[in-house]
Structure 1
Amino acid sequence: MNIHLSLTPLISLIAGILILVMPKLLNFIVAIYLIAIGLIGIFGLGSIRIH
């Protein structure tokens, strides 16, 4: 059984939920999201395959 897990949609989902729960942290969450997406793009960690 192969499970294909992409990090970027997962990070987006978590960031969206946090923004809905705590809207005052919007700037902080967006900054962390952008840094995480940048690191994923640089190091090529776009997908993790679990076998």
Structure 2
Amino acid sequence: MNIHLSFGPLVALIAGILILVMPRLLNFIIAIYLIVIGLVGLFGSHGWPFS
């Protein structure tokens, strides 16, 4: 049996759990998400950072 974990859903799961435990983290998690998405959009997703 081979288990394949993708990065996006794993990060979403961890972020969701952290937001439930500590709701004040929501602002930081959204900010980090937007920064990462912006950097991927600027530099392209060809091999950077997680593909």
TM over 0.5: yes
Q: Quick one: higher RCO (CA 8 Å, sep 6+), 1 or 2?
A: 1
SS at match of 1:23: coil
Runs of 4+ in structure 1 displaced over 4 angstroms?
none
Question: Structure 2 stretches of 5 or more lacking a match?
Answer: none
2:50 equivalent in structure 1: 45
The percent identity for this pair of structures is 68
CA drift of 1:34 comes to 3.3
Q: What is the root-mean-square deviation of aligned Cα atoms in Å?
A: 2.3
Q: Which residue of 1 is the match for residue 32 of structure 2?
A: 32
- TM score, norm. by length of structure 2: 0.61
TM-score, normalised via structure 1 length:
0.61
**Partner AA of 1:45 in structure 2:** F
In the TM superposition, 1:9-24 aligns within 5 A as 9-24=9-24
